[in-house]
Structure 1
Amino acid sequence: MSKAVAEKLISLQRYFLWSKENGRNGILLVKWEVVMAPKKAGGLGIGDAVIWNTALLFNWWWRFSKEDCPLWKKVVCSCNNLNSNEMLCSQPVPTRRGPWKDICQLQISEPHVREKIIRGLYMDVGNGRTVQFWEDIWLPHGVLKELFSRLFSVSNLKGSVIGNCEFWDGLEWI
C-alpha cells in the first residue's frame, strides 16, 4: 500500500475514534501513539498501518522464496516477467503497477532490520542444477559475481550452476 493510502487509512481510524455523531471533530482524549500501542502496554492494539502493510508484503516476499512453484507463483511470474527459481531481491523490479512491484521494492525503514531479515533467508540449493553459482543469491552475503568481481572476470564457469562447480577430491566434496 502506498504511503498516501496508509495515511488515509489512519485518518479514517482517527475519524472513527474521535468524531461525534454529526461528523464534527470530538475531543481527543488520548494520544494516537497510545491508541496504536499493544493492549499489554495500555493501548487499544490497533497498530501502525504502515508496519502491518510491510509485514504482509514481506510475508509474500518470503513465500515467493520458500514455496516451490504453486499456481499463484506461476501466475505472478508470468504477469511480471519474474523467474520463479530466483529470489526477488536478485530480479529487476516489475514495471507494471501493483502489489508485486511493491513487494519487490519492499522497503523496511531500518536498514539493519532489512539486512537481518535478508540474512535470515536462504536458498535451498538442492542438487545444484537450478541455482547459478555466480548470478544467484544462494549465500547470505549476496551475489558472488559482485562480491568477487575479479575472480568472476577470470572464471571459466560464468554461466554454470552450482552442481557443475564441485568435484570429489578423495573422500571430500569440494
Structure 2
Amino acid sequence: MKLVFATHNPNKFKEIQSLLPDHIELLSLKDIGCDEDIEETGDTIDENAIIKAEYVKNHYGYDCFADDTGLEVNSLAGAPGVFSARYAGEKKDDNANVEKLLSQLEKRDDRSARFKTVIALNLKGNENLFTGICEGEITSERKGDKGFGYDPIFVPTGFDKTFAEMDLSEKSKISHRGMAFKELIEYLSK
C-alpha cells in the first residue's frame, strides 16, 4: 500500500516512517512532486489536518494522511495552539517560537501544557481522524538537543526529562504524535 504523508518536515517524516509496518510504502510530498506549502487556514488543529489531506487527494490523487500538532499552554488560554508553528511569525522559526513562549511564561506559576496531534486520513475517499494528547509542563530553560520544535522545553507527565533529551524510540512510545499514529497504524492494519 502506498500512502503519502503530507509534510515537508523531514524530522516528522523520519519519526513516522520508523513507526509504520513494512507493507506500507510511505511517500513524502517531495516524492510526489508537491513543492507548494499547503496553507493551513483552519481555525482548529483538526481542520488543518483535514485541509492538508484533502489537498493531496484532490490535486495529486494519492491516498494520504496529514497531521497537525499544537502545543496548548493552560496559563495562556491554550496558546500557541493552532498557531504553534508560526507563534513568533510566518517564518516558522523553532528557536523564535521557543523564546517567545519562555518569555510569556517567565512570571507564571502554572506551566502545565499538552501537545495535541490530529491525523486526518483520506483513504479511498473516506476520512478518519486520529488524536493523540500528551500532558506535561514547560521548563524554564532548554534541555537536550534531540527532536524539534518545542521538544527542548516540554517535559511529559511522569518523566524528568524533555522530549529533546529522549531518543526517538522512547519519545515515540509516549508522544502525542506516537499515540495518534498508533491509532492510525491499528486502523490501517485491519
TM-score relative to the length of structure 1? 0.26
Select the structure with the greater relative contact order (CA < 8 A; seq sep ≥ 6): 2
TM-score relative to the length of structure 2? 0.25
Which of the pair is proportionally richer in strand?
2
